[in-house]
A and B are shown apart, each in its own frame.
Chain A
Amino acid sequence: MPTNPVIQLSEIHKVYHTGDVDVHAVRGVSLDIFPGEFVAIMGSSGSGKSTLMNLIGALDRPTGGAYRLDGIDVATLDRDRLAEIRNEKIGFVFQGFNLLSRTNAVENVEMPMLYNRRRVVRHEQKRRALSCLDLVGLGPRADHKPNQLSGGQQQRVAIARALVNQPSLLLADEPTGNLDSQTSIEIMGVFQKLNGQGITIVMVTHELDIARYTKRTVILRDGKVLTDAPVGNRLDAEHELAQLKQAQQAVKLA
């Protein structure tokens, strides 16, 4: 491939020292993810997918191997530099949305810009936050607080927050875990739209039907890569949603 990978994991190991027992959570994972990809990382609990997620998200450092994010060797950075990398290169979307309560949508989306090394002026912050909210279809609800929004809407705010610093990578940890199936499809639709605009997305999930909206699925077992394959007969969120609505309509008519 002509372009350089966004994520370049080679022989990544992570060992936790808890008391007398060493827990070998990740045992030699090598993985390249290129710009524009949409990858699902799957696995049962204890497969090491959460640990791998934290490593990719620069929240944690590997105990062995090399990790290059956008060409930067992340494995050797200190806490502050890791925070900077997270701020500039990664947008997080969590299962529990993790919005600041009693803080409206725009201010939640503006929050990462508070920590930018290069300062963004106040009105520019607001402009960028609003345009990100527009992107996820929440423009009209910019001044709503999280408790005035549905789960799906809260997750959209979280996605807008993840996008506001124009990261190289959107990292989603079970983004549909707290949502019903229709809302889950809507959120996957947002991801597919963003991916269509060239944003690289890595998503951890244990739901097989959610993984079918991505382009590539990596399955982990016991801290190692079991399979790594492109998704055949990929689902299209818009199409699925239309079908679902038709089905609901049919039920109502009957």
Chain B
Amino acid sequence: MRILASLRIAARALRRNKMRSVLTMLGIIIGVGSVISAVSITTGATRQVEDKVASMGLNVIQVYSGNFTSGGMRGGWGSAPTLTVEDTKAIQNEVDGISAISPEVRDREQIMANGLNWNTQTLGESPDFAQIRNWDFAEGSMFSDQDVRTLAKVAVVGKTVTDQLFPNIDPLGQIVRIRDIPFKIVGLLSPKGFNLWGQDQDDVIIIPYTSHMRRVTSRTFVNSILVQAASEGLIPKVQDGITGVLLARHRSLDQDFTVRNQVEIMQTATATARIMSVLLGAIASVSLVVGGIGIMNIMLVSVTERTREIGIRMAVGARARDILVQFLIEAVTLSAVGGIIGVVLGVIATRIVAAATHWPTVTPLIWVGAACVSSALIGIISGFYPAWKASRLDPIEALRYE
């Protein structure tokens, strides 16, 4: 029997009991609708976290210096002066798959300019830093390798710093004093906002690491090394390479440094959102199953009510599989139409939630597809037993049924 003819028969049978069909679909509508809105909200949350992590840079590997222990007191990561500029150069020369690298020196300084002062994070970096952190310039540009070699007194500054020190003049080309040493501003970073941990990423001033180590802080060790892998797939390889180089150079049994990559940070950061989406997904699937049971129930009633019709159809030549297909299509029509309505209502519900709470929401198309496919599947699964029962009827008995 043709599918089109079966569809016509199914549509007619469902229209005959409009109220009943709508109530039956309601289970699927609610199930699919809640799946769609749950997924949209959690995907939005996850995407936001991912964006924040991505704002830290692309394919970034961070190397921290190790733990410093003195008289039983352990200083925690970063306390031991173990990483050097030479380590950075060794990594750059010996490890493959690195697209950018920057030794990092961190300090907080009271800086002065324009008759104002401000306490901010002062970073010493290489010119690669802008690329690693994927940071654009609003004006000007990054300092150069030449500046690093010559210990140049140049700086690039974040939006918060310029707002505080230069409220009404263009900061580019102005002088800012760090420990009374004048640095000329050569670049203004475009704003990045707060990071995952609520830190203002724009409250920063960046100078060449050589100037930082020699002129400002007179240090010989760096706090950490930022490395950018050429691609995401290369991250583990680069990470292993760095570990190997540093172990060989430091000749210590204890690993006196830590290597972390962004994927790990991302996973930690999105863990909560992922647990939420699994939880919401589980609740939504339960309502889908309940919807499926509703369809099975109604299809069983329908088969009993239409026993005589089944008998007539069998008498004029319908085979068991024709009857099976007819009732299956009816069940699938119920669940698929319910699924489509559910998707539409789910999207509308998501919009309302987004408008009311200003949460970022994202409705992934793959989930819309999955919701439609799975509601059709539910129709097949829950319609199969009633349809099979109908197809096994004895035509003589069915014709006699009152």
Q: Do A and B come from one complex?
A: yes
Residues of A within 8 A of B (CB): 54, 57, 59-60, 79-80, 83-84, 86-88, 92, 94, 98, 100, 102-103, 111-112, 114-116, 119, 161, 165
A60 surroundings in chain B (CB, below 8 A): 396
| Cβ–Cβ < 8 Å partners of A57 in chain B | 315
B219-246 contact mask (Cβ, 8 Å, vs A): 1 or 0: 0000000000000000000000000000
What is the chain A residue whose CB lies nearest that of B15? A102
Among candidates A86, A92, A115, residue contacting B322 with C-beta atoms closer than 8 Å? A115
22 contacts between A and B (CB under 8 A): A54-B396, A59-B399, A79-B319, A80-B320, A83-B318, A83-B320, A84-B317, A84-B319, A86-B314, A86-B315, A92-B316, A94-B399, A98-B308, A98-B399, A111-B316, A112-B316, A112-B317, A114-B5, A114-B322, A115-B316, A115-B318, A116-B317
Chain B residues near A87 (CB-CB < 8 A): 316-317
Cα-based distance from A59 to B2 in the complex (angstroms): 24
Nearest B residue to A91, CB-CB: B316
Inter-chain contact A115/B317, CB cutoff 8 Å: yes
Find chain B residues with CB under 8 A from A165 CB. 317
Using CB atoms, name the residue of chain B closest to A99: B312
| Residues in B neighbouring A79, C-beta threshold 8 A | 319-320
Bound-complex Cα distance A100 to B326 (A) = 15
A81's closest neighbor in chain B, by CB? B319
8 A-B pairs with the lowest CB-CB distances in the bound complex, closest first: A87-B317, A112-B316, A115-B317, A83-B319, A80-B319, A98-B312, A115-B318, A86-B317
Query: Which residues on the B side are within 8 Å of A94 (C-beta)?
Result: 399
Main secondary structure of the interface of B (DSSP, over half): helix
Residue of A54, A84, A98 with highest tally of chain B CB at under 10 A: A98
B61 CB to closest chain A CB (Å) equals 66
Residue from B1, B308, B309, B396 within 8 A of A115 (CB atoms):
B1
CB-defined contacts of B274 to chain A, threshold 8 Å: none
Query: Which residues of chain B have a CB within 8 Å of any CB of chain A?
Result: 1-2, 5, 12, 16, 308-309, 311-322, 395-396, 399
Is the Cβ of A119 less than 8 Å from the Cβ of B2? yes
Bound Cα distance A103, B316 (Å): 16
- Whole-angstrom distance from the CB of A190 to the nearest CB of chain B? 19
Complex Cα gap A116–B320 (Å): 14
Verify B319–A102 contact, CB threshold 8 A: no
CB distance from A138 to the nearest CB of B (A): 18
With contacts A59-B395, A98-B308, A100-B309 taken as known, whether A114 is within 8 angstroms of B320 at the C-beta atoms is no
Select which of A83, A102, A161 is within 8 A of B314 by beta carbon. A83
Q: With the chains together, A146 CA to B2 CA distance in Å?
A: 25
Tell me the nearest residue of chain B to A60, going by C-beta.
B396
Chain A proximity of B329: nearest CB distance (Å): 13
A70 to B269, CA, bound (A): 78
Question: Closest CB-CB distance, A108 to chain B, in whole Å?
Answer: 9
Min Cβ gap B398→A in Å is 10
B313 touches A111 (CB 8 A): yes
| A79-B319, A84-B319, A119-B2 given; 19 more Cβ-contact pairs under 8 Å | A54-B396, A57-B315, A60-B396, A80-B319, A83-B319, A86-B314, A86-B316, A98-B315, A100-B309, A102-B12, A102-B16, A111-B312, A112-B316, A114-B5, A115-B316, A115-B317, A115-B318, A115-B319, A115-B322
Question: Given A59-B395, A60-B396, A79-B320, does the pair A114, B1 have CB atoms closer than 8 Å?
Answer: yes
Q: Which residues in A have their C-beta under 8 angstroms from that of B2?
A: 114, 119
Q: List A contacts of B316 (CB < 8 A).
A: 86-87, 92, 111-112, 115, 161
Q: Is the CB of B319 within 8 A of A100?
A: no
Which residues from chain B contact A100 at a C-beta distance below 8 Å? 309, 312
A115 to chain B: which residues have CB within 8 Å? Answer: 1, 313, 316-319, 322
The distance in angstroms between the C-alpha atoms of A102 and B315, with both chains bound, is 19
Q: Which residues on the A side are within 8 Å of B312 (C-beta)? A: 98, 100, 111
A165, B399: Cα distance in complex, Å: 20
Q: How far is the CA of A60 from the CA of B315 in the complex (A)?
A: 11
Closest to A87 in B: B317
For the complex, give the distance between the alpha carbons of A137 and B322 in Å: 31
Distance, CA A83 to CA B310, complexed state (A): 13
In the bound complex, CA of A60 to CA of B396 (Å): 8
Minimum distance in angstroms from B307 CB to a CB of chain A: 12
Min distance, Cβ B395 to any Cβ of chain A, angstroms: 5
Q: Closest approach, in angstroms, between the C-beta of B275 and any C-beta of chain A?
A: 52
Task: Tell me the complex Cα distance, A54–B399, Å.
Answer: 11
Residues of A within 8 A of B308 (CB): 98
A88 to B316, CA, bound (A): 9
| Neighbouring A residues of B395 by C-beta, 8 Å | 59
B317: chain A residues at CB < 8 Å are 83-84, 86-88, 112, 115-116, 165
CB distance from A130 to the nearest CB of B (A): 18
B299 smallest CB distance to A (angstroms): 19
A154 to B259, CA, bound (A): 86
Cα–Cα distance between A23 and B2 once the two chains are bound (Å): 41
How far, in Å, is B156 (CB) from chain A's closest CB?
A: 75
Distance A109 CA – B319 CA, assembled complex (angstroms): 18
Give the residues in chain B near A102, CB-CB below 8 Å: 12, 16
User: Which residues of chain B have C-beta atoms less than 8 A from A119's C-beta?
Assistant: 2
Task: For the complex, give the distance between the alpha carbons of A88 and B319 in Å.
Answer: 13
Could you tell me the distance between the alpha carbons of A115 and B320 in the complex, rounded to whole angstroms?
Answer: 11
Contacts of B313 in A (CB 8 A): 111, 115
Alpha-carbon distance between A80 and B314 when the two chains are bound, in angstroms: 10
Residues of B within 8 A of A88 (CB): 317
| Closest CB in chain B relative to A220 CB, distance in Å | 18
Minimal beta-carbon separation of B350 from chain A (angstroms): 40
User: What residue in chain B is nearest A112 (Cβ atoms)?
Assistant: B316
Contact partners of B16 in chain A: CB under 8 A: 102
Q: How far is the CB of B15 from chain A (nearest CB, A)?
A: 9
Tell me how far the C-beta of A116 lies from the nearest C-beta in chain B, rounded to whole angstroms: 8
